Structure 1
Amino acid sequence: MYWLNQVDKHAHEIPTWATERHPERRPCHLEKAPLHGSYNLCRIVEFNNGEKWIIRFPLPGKTSQAHLDEKVAGEVVALQLLRGRTNVPVPEVKAWGLADENPLGLGPFMMLQYIPGMDLGDLLEDPNDKHSSLMSVHLHSESVKVIYRQVAQFMLQIFKLDFEEMGGLPVGSPDRRRPLTLAAHEIMCRGGVNVLGLRREKLSTAKEFFDYLINQQWQQLHEQLTSACDEENAREKYIFVRVLKSLTSRHIWPDYNEGPFKLICDDFSLRNMRAQDDLKITGVIDQEFSYAGPAQLLATAPWWLLLERPHMWDFSEEMEDRFLRHLDMFKRVLEEEEEATPGHEDKELSRLIERSNENGTLWFIMVLQGFYQSPDNFPCTQLIRHTPDWDELAQGIPEEEIQAFVAKKIRHVKLHNKRKEDMLAAYEKLQWCQIDADTFFQVVEGLYGQTDDTVE
């Protein structure tokens, strides 16, 4: 709230600031009210020649405070790379800076070319179904193909970008920065578990990368107080992640294990695209959480085929059938685009997506890219179904190991409940002015603090 108040306080300074960054120093004015996205607050300025920029600030609280600069810097590199080496319609970066380069004191920022159009997700949703964020079932298949065809063209260009190393952007920095993935970011912000840590060693193979992601889920499961709600839930989640840790070698493609590596954007999706009424895509925005990673993360079934992330779905045969039908549609469109695009005659991307589908690797990848996993959600259920010896692997886990974890999580549940009671009591004191706001927020932050396992 304090930060938002600061944005409002400095709003009148934004036009002058943008003018100073404009190559012709043209005067401008602010348009409309602030735009709030999932991770950013945006302001639009219009210059006296009709040119528009959108100014983006990462939202504190929605973005890890320790990684604000890193998130912005990585996105800028991704946008510049895509704009310089592909025809993907990403916005031009007009100006940007880290937190200590912002004269308004509002954190890191980007000033981007404003791309007109409507949010593609809004065009594809059913306007009469306010309870669903999935693609409308009433959308004609030809309209879906129009969208898939354009995105297939984007993916083919992105797939041609090769990296010799993996890691955060820019790749090859002296500190060997680990990638800032969306999953890790969400675990840190929502669960309060620092799964990124200070790791600086190089991730050299796809197997190392996938083990790294699974270990982040393992760490979250153990350290987040609310990662399980009761004994049965704790048991199911422990068994799932424990078996998951044993599957990496099965889903590694030896011919891509050591590269080449690809540009991965965890937030690349239909919802981060703008389009006209005729569904022509005018812009691909929000390239945050971009990094160089294994080819398998790109050469797999896109999670965004039905708009919403599959880890939000409960499993049902209806959803399974719908997702697989749209996957088949996308693969057919992709193959057609490969045939029509010079340099893609070998159909490498579509062949790899089919390979991922045939051996169940697509579900393994989808699980790794999710966060707040539950064994009964769609990707997890599918991975279990496509692992013939899952039950055998689960039965091989020592029962005493499972029981020790369950006992720990029950202690965590009790501790979390106690902290919630303390927070409610502190809130009442705040209302009666018996404590100040800083003290209250210390109590709130304590809800997500770490603990040892001796607490009962």
Structure 2
Amino acid sequence: MHTMRADDMAWEQAEKISHNWLLQFLKLEIKKPIAMFILKHHRGDGTEFTILGKGSYNISLRTKYQNSSVVIRLSQPGAVFFPEEKVVNEVAIMRFLADQTSISIPFILHSGTKEESPLELSPFIIMDYIEHKTDMYDALNTPGCPKEERGILDPNINEDTLEFLYGQLAGVLLQLFKNSFPRIGSLTQIDDFTWEISRRPLSMNINELIRLGGLPRSKIPDTTFSTTSSYLEALADLNIEHLVHQRNDAVESADDCRRKFVARQLFRKLAREKRLIVSPFEHGPFKLRCDDFRPANVLLHENLEIAGVVDWEFAYAAPVEFSYAPPWWLLIERPEFWPNGIDDWENMFAHRLKTFLRAMRDCEDTEIQKGRLDENNRLSSHMQQSWDSGTFWIVYAALHSFALDAIYWQKIDPMFFKAAENPETAWKERLGLLDERESEEMEKLVARKLEEMKTRVLEWDPDEYTVEAIAKAAEAGWSPLDRQERSRD
């Protein structure tokens, strides 16, 4: 079953910009001012300054002291399309979690805008480095899996070890779940003890739609939400805009375009009719969700106990059903990329979910005994129900636009409409559900997409920060779309 592919031209452009920007960190004249900047904000005798590593969205550089280490983390252009907003959101959520939960997170020493950063490189956070031996991803991944390949949960992992690791992840999710908010959106810190939801929810999916899906930034909602259904409808609207705006690799044929259009229209119709998720918590309370909370961001000591949890970007208050959905990363790999298809992923996931929920129930029992959790607030039973009812798939599709097509036709459509003879051609049986205006719109889009397929053009809407990185690269005589690889550094 086809998913929506990313725009390959946009992908290549984004990767090239990031790569080129990162090369400067090999130069002493760049590293030195950064090291001095850290020393200015964290006095003491720094003994060593190194590049810690490049993540999906950031680069981290570390200064070692006698008894501790400090990290500065900078956002990569080409990877992050709302860098200032992302960093402000992340600082607010980290301070909230440090104050309101027992999750071990890095202590923030300082943060600031691009203008306030060393050499005006990027918005930044300076924080304590968390000493660790490994991370949850490596502990769960199949041994010997090459770094560059996509990881998959070790099929032969010891069940006790798995339950121990899952139990710790469950503990973090329980901590996040305890906090409630009156609106859907990102946190703002008002004073030392007060936070409120005053900015739009900035999700990882939104960043990826702009980076790889050709979505104009103007299409992103610029508001908080007071109901679950209004937020789901906004997400459904984004999926339609995505199909309309992605310039390359969006469709494979006229019928493929129709199938993708029908899936998005029906998903939105169900959202508008408040059938997609019938929520007893339509008006809240809403719960914290971090799109980037996954095994790779959970650092472990040698004894496999959690040392700390990092990368809190893309965290916001979301509908409670998003927290009720079991975490997709139990198998490490996403369903749409699973080698043997979504149905096989589902079977494997159901098997591992039993272990995860058993570990979570143990965690809940402990919290209840200590008087820190109410019997009625168990997350495990809601997760089981989300999985059994199929709501898990609705949440997954709402959060992962590029996977929508495969998930919609295989998992969501049969929940709401008479089972189709074949998921591949189900869209033909659903054409009658479109009104006349939608059918006309579909045929206009098909004609436009077929015309677009004749040429490949880069159409995307980068932020000022990324535009500046392109200009600097051009000054250095490098063209972001030059397919010739420069040095293989």
Per the normalisation by structure 1, the TM-score is 0.85
Unpaired stretches in structure 1, ≥5 consecutive residues: 421-434, 445-456
Q: What is the rounded CA distance, in whole Å, between the counterparts of 1:360 and 1:212 in structure 2? A: 21
Partner of 2:393: 363
Q: CA deviation at 1:100?
A: 1.6
Q: Equivalent residues in 2 for 1:67-146 (5 A)? A: 67-117=82-132, 118-130=134-146, 131-146=149-164
Aligned letter for 2:157? L
Deviations along 1:308-357, whole A, 9 cap, x unmatched? 23333363433221011112222222223222212232244223222322
Distance 1:379 1:366, change over 3 A: farther
Decide whether the 8 Å contact of 1:33 with 1:43 is kept in 2: yes
Distance 1:436 1:79, change over 3 A: closer
Partner of 1:50: 67
Q: Equivalent residues in 2 for 1:50-449 (5 A)? A: 50-64=67-81, 67-117=82-132, 118-130=134-146, 131-170=149-188, 176-195=198-217, 197=219, 199-226=221-248, 227-248=250-271, 249-313=274-338, 315-342=341-368, 343-373=373-403, 375-376=405-406, 381-389=410-418, 391=420, 393-397=430-434, 400-416=440-456, 441=480
Aligned letter for 2:141? E
Q: What is the rounded CA distance, in whole Å, between the counterparts of 1:333 and 1:419 in structure 2? A: 48
Distance 1:315 1:240, change over 3 A: farther
Q: What is the rounded CA distance, in whole Å, between the counterparts of 1:170 and 1:105 in structure 2? A: 24
Distance 1:280 1:196, change over 3 A: farther
Decide whether the 8 Å contact of 2:181 with 2:285 is kept in 1: yes
Decide whether the 8 Å contact of 1:211 with 1:245 is kept in 2: yes
Distance 1:344 1:151, change over 3 A: farther
Distance 1:352 1:312, change over 3 A: same
Q: CA deviation at 1:91?
A: 1.1
Tell me the matched-pair count. 423
Partner of 1:447: none
Partner of 2:46: 28
| SS, match of residue 112 in structure 1 | strand
Q: CA deviation at 1:200?
A: 3.5
1:11 aligns with 2:31: yes
Q: CA deviation at 1:405?
A: 2.4
Report runs of 4+ in structure 1 exceeding 6 Å deviation: 171-175, 435-439
| SS, match of residue 312 in structure 2 | coil
Q: CA deviation at 1:151?
A: 1.4
Decide whether the 8 Å contact of 1:171 with 1:292 is kept in 2: no
Q: What is the rounded CA distance, in whole Å, between the counterparts of 1:184 and 1:281 in structure 2? A: 30
- Segment of structure 1 superposing worse, 263-272 or 316-325: 316-325
Q: What is the rounded CA distance, in whole Å, between the counterparts of 1:337 and 1:174 in structure 2? A: 29
Deviations along 1:221-247, whole A, 9 cap, x unmatched? 111112213223212211211111122
Decide whether the 8 Å contact of 1:15 with 1:27 is kept in 2: no
Per the normalisation by structure 2, the TM-score is 0.79
Decide whether the 8 Å contact of 1:73 with 1:169 is kept in 2: no
Q: What is the rounded CA distance, in whole Å, between the counterparts of 1:195 and 1:279 in structure 2? A: 41
Decide whether the 8 Å contact of 1:373 with 1:380 is kept in 2: no
Q: CA deviation at 1:175?
A: 11
Aligned letter for 1:69? E
Partner of 1:423: none
Partner of 1:432: none
Q: What is the rounded CA distance, in whole Å, between the counterparts of 1:334 and 1:244 in structure 2? A: 32
Q: CA deviation at 1:132?
A: 4.1
Q: What is the rounded CA distance, in whole Å, between the counterparts of 1:122 and 1:175 in structure 2? A: 35
Partner of 1:430: none
Aligned letter for 1:254? S
Q: What is the rounded CA distance, in whole Å, between the counterparts of 1:27 and 1:379 in structure 2? A: 56
| SS, match of residue 356 in structure 1 | helix
Q: CA deviation at 1:389?
A: 3.3
Q: What is the rounded CA distance, in whole Å, between the counterparts of 1:182 and 1:148 in structure 2? A: 23
Q: What is the rounded CA distance, in whole Å, between the counterparts of 2:196 and 2:158 in structure 1? A: 50
| SS, match of residue 357 in structure 1 | helix
Aligned letter for 1:54? V
Q: CA deviation at 1:135?
A: 1.0
Distance 1:270 1:412, change over 3 A: same
Decide whether the 8 Å contact of 2:51 with 2:60 is kept in 1: no
Aligned letter for 1:188? I
Aligned letter for 2:385? R
Q: CA deviation at 1:32?
A: 3.6
- Which protein has greater RCO, CA pairs closer than 8 Å, 6+ apart? 2
Q: What is the rounded CA distance, in whole Å, between the counterparts of 1:142 and 1:383 in structure 2? A: 34
Distance 1:390 1:412, change over 3 A: farther
Unpaired stretches in structure 2, ≥5 consecutive residues: 1-18, 421-428, 460-473, 484-489
